Structure 1
Amino acid sequence: MLTIEDIRKIQLFAELAAPELERLAKASADLHLAAGEFAVPEGGDRALYGVISGKIQVVKMIDGIEKTLGWRNPGQIFGEVPITFGMAFVGGYRASEPSRVLRVELKDYYAVASASPSVAQEVGKLARERIGGLQGIAAERPKPRVSIVGTRWDSACAELRKFLTRNQISFEWMTPDAPDLGSKWPGPAPSDDQCPVLRVAPINPGSGEVQSLADGALLARPAARDLARALGLQTSPGPTEYDTVIIGGGPAGLAAAVYGASEGLHTLVVEREAPGGQAGTSSRIENYLGFPNGVSGDELAHRALQQAKRLGAEILVTRSVARMDPSSRQVHLDDGDVIRARTIILATGVSWRRLAVDGFEKLAGKGVQYGASRSDASGTHGLDVHLIGAGNSAGQAALHFANHARSVTLVVRGDSLDKSMSRYLIEQIAKQDNVKVLLQSEVVAAHGEAGLAAIDIRDNRGATVSRHDCGSLFVFIGADAETDWLPAEVARDDRGYVLTGDDVVKAGRWAGRRDPYLLESSVPGVFACGDVRLSPVKRVASAVGEGSMAIAFVHKYLQETR
């Protein structure tokens, strides 16, 4: 419980009259923080904080790296910038040692400031000083964590760039013939047959600052896992047993990780590529609750990932599951590691369906791409781009590419977009001058040597075929569940989607004495959520909801097995 003497330890309040000190002592929260615990995270709501004892570290994620912006010592305050400028916290405030902090809610701060105007004046003065420092940080050109040299149509280079983008790692990409390569690439210029080559700058562990690329590791044509290790991403589990192992790091898996870790479960996520799943490639999700201006898939995934990590979940990247034992719930990873899980949550999502079209396999990664991420747009500047598909993912990508490409063409087999695309996307597409829609049409061939140059489109109404220049082609024709690796004990439908709840009972695959939980598979203690689960609803919001619900059923299962 706070006393008047505790309040006086804060310099801002030291000269207040006794009634105001009494008011603050009664109204303020008394936060006792362990080392590593946040007083307020980045993006937190406005309030004024004062450090009574201990030490508070100011941190902010910049280009995927946690950077230390400063410190708050006993007697100092924080929260003056959000209060003065009406914004959320731009950084997080974390105890670096056991600390005691008081929190003054907004209404109580304004009551004190009204009675003692000098408090508001001092808060405003501090805010102006510190906002200047933040503006200086924002104006600095960030040092890229990775420098990569590779040709545009090299599929290995494209995959590495995608991996870096999905993991929120800043990088600079140059081609071997770039005129400024010599000034940006430390050491001898790599030859074409050595590419892609990467340099990974080390991080100063004390401040989070990116050091010189010249001092970093040189990697030639690395596998994604080798690059992840060089970047310090977690690729191996810590202990060998977890309360719940979540297979898949898309929206459903990350939601399960957030709720599992927040409720005290020892939680591990195994992701074979990068967090975000298929949703992470969406250039803009317009209808997700709480984001009135929309949010990109990778931004949503990044926020969820940071939240899950902050709450204590472990996230493995570039790891896949080779098999799982349903009786012992042992999870065998792809390089032989074995993890024992008390429960398992299947959140593997789906993979883009591929098209058997002449030239597609040859040009895959060289202009023909399945799905798209926000970073792909910059590579389409001034080009004629084509997209195959009529769903929301295709519509979102078309609108995003329209800001960069000379023209964007949606190639649609059906006679209308209304059956498969949300109305808000259809209306926005109609307003874009450089976006057109070809209905009752399909791509029948792709042409090019080193990279994609042109495609043939057949108009199914007249069976005519025409050739079109094409700088990039993105395919969005739906997705399939890749669940062949699951044991036979986990019931699936004929398309590979996992049966849960009543569907397990209807299929005659439940042998337990109780009914299966809503998201429980045919194996007790193994749950499924998100797109991999048999369900007519395939939306990011429903996947997040199911991920959180899965943790509730995990708790029920753990209680009954105890």
Structure 2
Amino acid sequence: MLTIDDIRAVPLFSTLPDSELENLAHTAADLHLCAGEFAVHEGGERALYAVLSGKMEVIKTFDGIERTLGWRLPGTIFGEVPLALSSPFPGAYRAAEASRVMRVDAPQYYALAAASPEVAFKMGALARERIGGLQSLSAEPPKARVTIVGNRWDDACTLLRQFLARNQISADWLAPDAPELAARWSGTCPTESECPALRLVDGTVLSRPATRELAGLLGLQTQPRLAGYDTAIIGGGPAGLAAAVYGASEGLRTLVLEREAPGGQAGTSSRIENYLGFPNGVSGDELASRALQQARRLGAEILVTRSVERIDVETRRIHLDGGDAVHARTIILATGVTWRRLAIDGFDRFIGKGIYYGAARSEASATHGLDVHLIGGGNSAGQAALFFANHARSVTLVVRGDSLEKGMSRYLVEQLAGKSNVAVRLRSDVVGAHGDTHLTAIDIRDSTTGSVSRHDCGGLFVFIGADAQTEWLPSEIARDERGYVLTGDDVVKAARWPHHHRDPYLLESSVPGVFACGDVRLSPVKRVASAVGEGSMAIAFAHRYLQSDGA
């Protein structure tokens, strides 16, 4: 319990009258923190904190790497910058040892400042000083964690660049003939046969590494720590990450298996404007990054570069590529969908060499001054068009239908109309691709007239729908003719529910204890928000299963 003497020991409050100190003692929170426990996380709500005893570490995550920015000792305060700017905390504060901290919530602080101008003056001076420190910190050029040298049209180089971008690892990319290569690559420059070559920030040099090898060297988890888990989530998109957050927060031993990078298709979205709680929109990778940090903080394990080869539904063993296997009491399928491929002669040889399925954001800077085309009339295509319009000379949406409004949200249609370098070609199809080592031109057919015209193309991005890739699932897990997993009533209607003592839960598959959520589940709703909701619901049903079926 806070006392007047505790609070008076903090210089900021030392001159306050006893009445104000008494009020603070009754309204402020008295936090007793163990070593490693957080007083506030990065992005936390504004409040004023005072260290009464112990030692607090100031930390901030830059490009996935945690940095220590300073320390707060007894008598010092923190939170003055968020209060001055009415903003969330720019960094986190963690106890370096057993510590005691007083927290004054924002309304209480503002009331105190109004009654005691001296406190407000001292806080303002300290805030200005520390804002200056933040400005100098932001002026430091960030050092990329990876330097990659390789040809833009090399499949291996494209794969590595996209892997780094999807996992939010900062990377500098240089072509083998770049004039600045010698200055930026310490040591002997890699030869053409050694490319793509990578130099990590610790000096490690790699030549044409596998993504799993690279992931391990960058500190990403690729191996499970346990032999068994309460729930294993296959897929790290919005549904899978939501399940991970809720599963870990409720004390379940939670494992996420992701073959590429967390975020799923949503993670490649340049901007999601209609997700609840983000009034200015949020990029897919930022949303995925926040969810990933949250899941890990709560104790979930997130494995990347790991594919599931098969599931043994009898033993609940999940067999991974590379020969590893884990046991899970419940399994949640959140594998999402894969972009549908165009069946056009010559397209496959340009994949990664100018043709991309989905929004390859790592290619954005390379489209500067070029004419790019996107195929599709849905929200994903609209978001990507807006993103590339900030880089390319022109962006053309090629749409098979006769109206954007039929498949795209109105806010996107309106924003596209306001972009002078974005054009829309309705009732059109791409029917040909041309180039030698990479894509240079495409043929577009007008379905109304039947005429075909050729256009220079610096990049073609395809968003023509998606399919569930579930052929690897065991036959016991029922699916429809398109591969979507049946759950709940759909399982009963298909006469695939084996247990008659109870009905399947809403998100339960034809195998009790195996659930499906997000885009892989048969459902008419395909939205990020609904996937997140289903991911959290799947954990609730997994809990019920564990309690009632005694698995």
Deviations 1:508-530 (A, max 9, x none): 11122111111111111111110
The CA distance in 1 between the partners of 2:35 and 2:10, in whole Å, is 21
- Which aligned pairs between 1:59-74 and structure 2 lie closer than 5 A? 59-74=59-74
The CA distance in 2 between the partners of 1:554 and 1:157, in whole Å, is 41
Deviations 1:198-234 (A, max 9, x none): 00113xxxxxxxxxxxxx1111111111110110111
- The equivalent position to 2:443 in structure 1, one of 456, 473, 483, is 456
The CA distance in 1 between the partners of 2:35 and 2:493, in whole Å, is 51
- Which aligned pairs between 1:528-543 and structure 2 lie closer than 5 A? 528-543=516-531
What secondary structure, in the 3-state scheme, does the structure 1 residue paired with 2:364 have? Answer: helix
Does the alignment pair 1:554 with 2:525? no
What secondary structure, in the 3-state scheme, does the structure 2 residue paired with 1:419 have? Answer: coil
The answer as to whether partners of 1:246 and 1:269 remain within 8 angstroms in 2 is yes
Aligned-residue offset at 1:394: 0.6
- Gaps in structure 1 of 5+ consecutive residues: 203-215
The answer as to whether partners of 1:37 and 1:95 remain within 8 angstroms in 2 is yes
What secondary structure, in the 3-state scheme, does the structure 1 residue paired with 2:182 have? Answer: helix
2:390 counterpart residue number: 403
Worse overlay, 274-283 or 108-117: 108-117
What secondary structure, in the 3-state scheme, does the structure 2 residue paired with 1:398 have? Answer: helix
2:183 counterpart residue number: 183
Does the alignment pair 1:412 with 2:412? no
The answer as to whether partners of 1:409 and 1:436 remain within 8 angstroms in 2 is yes
- Which aligned pairs between 1:382-531 and structure 2 lie closer than 5 A? 382-512=369-499, 513-531=501-519
The CA distance in 2 between the partners of 1:495 and 1:305, in whole Å, is 30
TM-score, length-scaled by structure 2: 0.97
The CA distance in 2 between the partners of 1:257 and 1:163, in whole Å, is 22
Code of the residue aligned with 2:179 in structure 1: it is P
What secondary structure, in the 3-state scheme, does the structure 2 residue paired with 1:359 have? Answer: coil
Aligned-residue offset at 1:72: 1.3
Code of the residue aligned with 1:79 in structure 2: it is G
- Gaps in structure 2 of 5+ consecutive residues: none
2:148 counterpart residue number: 148
Deviations 1:514-550 (A, max 9, x none): 1111111111111111000100000111101111111
The answer as to whether partners of 2:395 and 2:423 remain within 8 angstroms in 1 is yes
The CA distance in 2 between the partners of 1:531 and 1:317, in whole Å, is 20
Deviations 1:301-325 (A, max 9, x none): 0111111111111111111111111
Deviations 1:240-285 (A, max 9, x none): 1111111111001111111111122111111100110011111111
1:35 counterpart residue number: 35
Deviations 1:92-141 (A, max 9, x none): 11222232221111121123223332222221121111111111111110
Deviations 1:443-498 (A, max 9, x none): 11111111111111111212221111111001111111111111111111111111
Aligned-residue offset at 1:556: 1.3
- Which aligned pairs between 1:145-294 and structure 2 lie closer than 5 A? 145-202=145-202, 216-294=203-281
Does the alignment pair 1:108 with 2:108? yes
What secondary structure, in the 3-state scheme, does the structure 2 residue paired with 1:510 have? Answer: coil
Worse overlay, 34-43 or 340-349: 34-43
Aligned-residue offset at 1:9: 3.5
Identity of aligned residues (%): 72
2:362 counterpart residue number: 375
Deviations 1:400-437 (A, max 9, x none): 11111111111111222222111111122222221111
The answer as to whether partners of 1:367 and 1:452 remain within 8 angstroms in 2 is yes
Q: Which runs of 4+ in 1 moved over 3 A?
A: none
The answer as to whether partners of 1:282 and 1:373 remain within 8 angstroms in 2 is no
The CA distance in 1 between the partners of 2:371 and 2:273, in whole Å, is 25
1:358 counterpart residue number: 345
The CA distance in 2 between the partners of 1:7 and 1:38, in whole Å, is 21
Alignment size in residue pairs: 549
Code of the residue aligned with 2:526 in structure 1: it is K
What secondary structure, in the 3-state scheme, does the structure 1 residue paired with 2:349 have? Answer: helix
The CA distance in 2 between the partners of 1:132 and 1:378, in whole Å, is 32
The CA distance in 2 between the partners of 1:160 and 1:269, in whole Å, is 22
1:128 counterpart residue number: 128
Worse overlay, 394-403 or 432-441: 432-441
Aligned-residue offset at 1:31: 1.6
